[in-house]
Structure 1
Amino acid sequence: DRNPLLIVNALSKHFTIQQQKIIRTNYLGLFYSMSALMFFLFVAGTAINILTIACTIQYKKLRSHLNYILVNMAVANLIVSSVGSFTCFYCFAFRYMALGPLGCKIEGFTASLGGMVSLWSLAVIAFERWLVICKPLGNFAFKSEHALFFCSWNRIATCIVCFARYIPEGMQCSCGPDWYTTGNKYNTESFVLFLFCFCFSVPFTCIVFCYSQLLFTLKSAESASTQKAEKEVTRMVVVMVLGFLVCYMPYASFALWVVNHRGQTFDLRLATIPSCVSKASTVYNPVIYVLLNKQVGLWGWA
């Protein structure tokens, strides 16, 4: 009589046929609601990121070093929305991983790849603003060559890192790295700790440090225009940091909790939330970093 949505996070075992029937029958509303959400993220995320890429290609004045990084992030978001969000929409509609093991691996790989590329793009955007405004390296200029080098390194490194084992997670309609299996050849514990440090903690630390230094620099200036810019930048920085945390903190925290609490049960509905929230970043990250920043002039203040 145990709630089938509570499972033990030990081995990546499939549900029994009876449990699958209970879940698919009793939680129709939840599955279809998640399918509708994923469809929205697929449509909105794909459209806004294609628009970002198309505008950069069409208008030469947008082909700056900073916009190369924004395009790099837009391409990563496009991969997540067009593959990851669409796959989840399709599978939630059928209430199981309808695309099979290969589809699971593709969805898990593309979502992880896009997420890591996007994370590091956000960190490098903050680093670039720190170099331009605070000038810690004197007259050093962050040029297009540096941006292109980062984009190339970012893609290659994340492709290598993302070669991991992917299994269904949450309501079994999306896939992610195997946080659950212990003591096997995949070294999942080490992989999770590496991802938490390298793909969450380090980028987040970089973002907080660079933007805090940027604010200190603006605060020390005395002109009225600079003080006005300080207020605008402060508001935007708060939005950026909160957006980063909302995007990736739930997923990173959940993965770390699973690794450090072997054998404890958790609700599959709650386990589904972090993955969906991280995919929502494909919509509101472009809004924050591309659309809103044009209004407050954060990228143009230097």
Structure 2
Amino acid sequence: MATTTVKIEIVDDEKDLECIDIKAFLWNEHSDYTSLPSTMSVFAVIYTLIVTLGVLGNTLVILSVIKHRSLQSVRNIFIVSLSCSDIVVCIVSGTITPITAFTKVWVFGAALCKLVPLIQGASLCFSTLTLTAISIDRFILIIYPTQRSIQKRHASQMIALNCTIATSISLPMFFKQNLTPYDRFCGEFCAEDWGTDQSSRSVYGTIVFILQFVVPFFIITFCYLMISLRLGRGMLIKRSSGEQKLNGPQSEQRRQALKRRLRTNRMLMAMVCVFLICWTPAVAFNFLRDYQWLPEMIAKQEYLSGVVTHCISMSSTIWNPILYALLNEQFRLAFAELLASCRRAYTDAQGETLPSRLSARCSRIVSNAFLDLAIVSGNTRGTNGVNNSSSGEGVPSRNGSIKWRYSTVSASSKLEVGGTNKACSSSLL
């Protein structure tokens, strides 16, 4: 008599060829919503938008700094390294992680099983270390203005050191990730294998949490708190000195410089806040999973919870370029010029056809939007630019659930009047 049940029998320690589809199993046993096609479609659109906007936005930041020498300050060197890290996160975490989450099996081979977690963890750690380096640079520049500030050569050395530290912290993931089949289930799974001592995984997760987040954000908080107090005290002194003393050109220049530093400080603090808000859910999810402290409702939908927190963390790659455009006029002008250059290049390539005219019109609209931002900010002549100093201003685990260890997770002096502003102004009018 025929039967529709799939039966698994083990004979002489060898399995039959038949196996269970893990997606069907999770849906039948746990009502896992990530197994539904509708859920996959929604998140496919979300991830596509995140990856596209993240890569384009951070590429715009990198090209702007490379093209304009006046943007090549110490702080912007750190920002470029942060943008490079965000692009890596978009390409690696924005593609491999969701595919693994929805297929429930590892389809990328044994080599990537070890490399991907290492890259993801190192990228996240590198981002937090870079934000820490930026805060230290600002702290030295403002709290100790008479001391020699960080130079570009030192910034490059700090970036290399951050890469080394981030890779070292994430290196255990390279050795503990293994591609292995699970009994009864079809396919292979890339999972952490800590042997019989599972407490080691929790200990490592705690150490990573402290080194990646707790220590850096204590340093960052201290630096920006001291900077805010110093700048706030400076503003009070300026106001109490009387309006007559502020009428001279030298006093006016000092006041404008202080305002620029305040604006830059706000932008950098906004970067840290956005990074913290975006990555806290994912880090908390991973930390609670290590100790099996997840609330029951979240534990029942571990795959869905992991995908949602991962999307939130991935969105951090989009916000940094937006913050630069909103809070720094020099990046706004550089972005507008690059967009205008793309429009001109497209027009030259296509000729005066209808598509090229439409492209030119759309590009002018975008460029004018950046100019409107500059007007709203209160100054379109570059006086609110930043001081031009030399320093510048998952995969399934053994219990069948996903292990979420992934990365992530950032302006400058006045552009040259002779070239950039002229070209940018002509393209915007």
In 2: Cα distance, 1:16 partner to 1:94 partner: 9
Asked if 1 retains the 8 angstrom alpha-carbon contact of 2:260 and 2:387, the reply is no
Q: Which amino acid aligns with 2:277?
A: V
In 1: Cα distance, 2:280 partner to 2:164 partner: 24
In 2: Cα distance, 1:227 partner to 1:144 partner: 23
| Structure-2 residue corresponding to 1:142 | 150
| Structure-2 residue corresponding to 1:219 | 232
1:235: Cα distance to partner?
A: 4.8
Larger radius of gyration: 2
| Structure-2 residue corresponding to 1:259 | 290
1:154 equivalent in alignment to 2:162: yes
Asked if 1 retains the 8 angstrom alpha-carbon contact of 2:257 and 2:387, the reply is no
1:204 equivalent in alignment to 2:217: yes
Deviations 1:246-285 (A, max 9, x none): 1221122222212233697512112322222222211113
| Structure-2 residue corresponding to 1:54 | 63
Deviations 1:18-68 (A, max 9, x none): 415654785222222222211112111111222222222233333222221
Q: What stretches of structure 1 of length at least 5 have no aligned partner?
A: 1-13, 169-174
Q: Which amino acid aligns with 2:308?
A: I
In 2: Cα distance, 1:176 partner to 1:198 partner: 25
Kindly report which structure 2 residues correspond to 1:97-108, keeping only aligned pairs within 5 A, or say none. 97-108=106-117
Structure 1 residues 185-194 or 18-27, which shifts more? 18-27
Runs (4+) of structure 1 exceeding 6 A deviation are none
User: 1:151/1:231 Cα in 2 relative to 1: closer, same or farther (>3 Å)?
Assistant: closer
In 2: Cα distance, 1:230 partner to 1:151 partner: 24
Asked if 2 retains the 8 angstrom alpha-carbon contact of 1:76 and 1:113, the reply is no
Provide the TM-score with structure 2 as the length reference: 0.56
In 1: Cα distance, 2:190 partner to 2:100 partner: 14
Deviations 1:190-209 (A, max 9, x none): 22111111111111112211
Which of 288, 291, 295 is the matching residue for 2:325? 291
| Structure-2 residue corresponding to 1:280 | 315
Structure 1 residues 20-29 or 34-43, which shifts more? 20-29
Asked if 2 retains the 8 angstrom alpha-carbon contact of 1:219 and 1:227, the reply is no
Q: Which amino acid aligns with 2:142?
A: I
Same amino acid, percent of matched pairs: 19
1:150: Cα distance to partner?
A: 0.6
Asked if 1 retains the 8 angstrom alpha-carbon contact of 2:261 and 2:386, the reply is no
In 2: Cα distance, 1:286 partner to 1:177 partner: 34
- Alignment RMSD (CA, Å): 3.5
Q: Which amino acid aligns with 2:154?
A: H
Structure 1 residues 127-136 or 117-126, which shifts more? 127-136
| Structure-2 residue corresponding to 1:19 | 25
Asked if 2 retains the 8 angstrom alpha-carbon contact of 1:24 and 1:95, the reply is no
User: 1:125/1:139 Cα in 2 relative to 1: closer, same or farther (>3 Å)?
Assistant: same
Deviations 1:226-260 (A, max 9, x none): 77558746754653342122122112222221223
Structure 1 residues 44-53 or 72-81, which shifts more? 44-53
| Structure-1 residue corresponding to 2:364 | none
| Structure-2 residue corresponding to 1:244 | 275
In 2: Cα distance, 1:154 partner to 1:105 partner: 21
| Structure-1 residue corresponding to 2:375 | none
1:176: Cα distance to partner?
A: 9.8
User: How many residues in Structure 1 have an aligned counterpart in Structure 2?
Assistant: 280
User: 1:241/1:63 Cα in 2 relative to 1: closer, same or farther (>3 Å)?
Assistant: closer
Deviations 1:67-92 (A, max 9, x none): 21111111111111122212245556
User: 1:248/1:103 Cα in 2 relative to 1: closer, same or farther (>3 Å)?
Assistant: same
Deviations 1:125-150 (A, max 9, x none): 111111111217x4121111220111
Asked if 1 retains the 8 angstrom alpha-carbon contact of 2:65 and 2:76, the reply is yes
**SS of structure 2 residue aligned to 1:157:** helix
User: 1:96/1:234 Cα in 2 relative to 1: closer, same or farther (>3 Å)?
Assistant: same
In 2: Cα distance, 1:116 partner to 1:135 partner: 28
Kindly report which structure 2 residues correspond to 1:86-125, keeping only aligned pairs within 5 A, or say none. 86-88=95-97, 90-91=99-100, 97-125=106-134
